[in-house]
Amino acid sequence: MIGDKTSLKGRVAIVTGGGMGMGAATARLMAARGACVVVSDTNEKAARETVAMIAADGGTAEAVVADVARESDVEAMIAQTVGRFGKLDCAVNNAAIAPDNAPIAEADMAVFDRLIAVNLRGVMLCMKYEIRHFLKRKAAGAIVNIGSVSSQRPQAFNAAYVASKHGVVGLTKTGSLEYASHGIRVNAVLPGSIDTPMLRTALNSTGKKEEDFAPILSLFGRFGKAEEVAEASAWLCSDAASYVTGHCLAVDAGYLSR
């Protein structure tokens, strides 16, 4: 008989930046597939809202306030996860802040440093403590880092964001090499233009509409839904992806194929 290997029943998952956008959709989907989910975010109210939605769906989740750029917060996030649910099996390292929108010669280095701290150092810190936990338990584990189409195709005026997202691919591939022999899989999802608060804020700052950008950014002529990216992350965390590691999966309606 063929079983459903996408099930996450009995698994414990962390989703960083789970308070809104793709993180919230991913936390909800993973809970619906059976995982107990730690919804981690700097925004406590947003994290609690995601937890409430999961509870309303019949799932199990816990909110944890953590800034992924702070090592002590990340270490405490893993400890709180283990304290609440007894272990960690998989994580979606999704938290990030938005592009910087400045040419390199005009860069504000405080903005650059904060963006790299959240988007790159944050992924490194999460991997460090997630992998430590997997090794301590001598158990398999799955990590999904959220990159971007900017991980593979740069855009002008977004140097810090592009560099951070290229770095996420480097961390993903290095992690896959170092820990495959321990049964730890490390993959990345590279979203295209996805309709979330981050994208809406960027769009509003241009004064333009979805119709002005979507045909350029997507072969489908529309922005993606957070739930469409969540499917890829949940799949990569599941046993259905047992032979997949070191992979960067674009969920971009063909943007990178042009």
Ligand X SMILES: NC(=O)c1ccc[n+]([C@@H]2O[C@H](COP(=O)([O-])OP(=O)(O)OC[C@H]3O[C@@H](n4cnc5c(N)ncnc54)[C@H](O)[C@@H]3O)[C@@H](O)[C@H]2O)c1
**Short-list 236, 248, 247, CA closest to 6:** 236
Decide if residue 158 touches ligand X (CB under 6 A). no
Residue closer to ligand X (CB basis): 201 or 242:
201
d(Cα 211, Cα 181) in Å, to the nearest integer? 47
| DSSP 8-state class, residue 105 | G
Q: Answer for the pair 61, 32: CB distance below 8 angstroms, yes or no.
A: no
Decide if residue 16 touches ligand X (CB under 6 A). yes
- From candidates 35, 63, 120, 199, binder to ligand X by CB under 6 A: 199
Residue closer to ligand X (CB basis): 105 or 236:
236
Decide if residue 127 touches ligand X (CB under 6 A). no
d(Cα 94, Cα 130) in Å, to the nearest integer? 14
Residue closer to ligand X (CB basis): 128 or 182:
128
SS3 category, 83: helix
From residue 134, alpha-carbon distances to 130, 137, 139, 142, 253 in Å are: 6, 5, 5, 9, 34
Angle between helices 21-32 and 44-56 (to 10 degrees): 30
- From candidates 21, 59, 141, 175, binder to ligand X by CB under 6 A: 21
CB 89 to ligand X: min, Å: 20
- From candidates 196, 218, 233, 245, binder to ligand X by CB under 6 A: 196
CB 6 to ligand X: min, Å: 21
Residue closer to ligand X (CB basis): 228 or 239:
228
Decide if residue 118 touches ligand X (CB under 6 A). yes
- By beta carbon distance, the residue nearest ligand X is 21
CB 21 to ligand X: min, Å: 2
Give the helix, strand, coil percentages of the chain, each rounded to 5: 50, 15, 30
CB 10 to ligand X: min, Å: 26
Decide if residue 246 touches ligand X (CB under 6 A). no
Site string for ligand X, 72-101 (x = CB under 6 A): ----------------------xxxx----
d(Cα 44, Cα 52) in Å, to the nearest integer? 12
Residue closer to ligand X (CB basis): 81 or 94:
94
Q: At 241, which amino acid appears?
A: A
- From candidates 8, 64, 69, 186, binder to ligand X by CB under 6 A: 69
Decide if 161 is catalytic.
yes
- Is residue 65 packed enough to be buried (19+ CB in 10 Å), middle (13-18) or exposed (0-12)? middle
| Chain mean position to CA 128 | 15
SS3 category, 14: strand
Judged by the rule CB under 6 A, the positions of this chain that interact with ligand X are: 16-17, 19-23, 41-43, 46, 67-69, 94-97, 118, 122, 146, 148, 191, 193-194, 196-199
Which residues carry out catalysis?
161
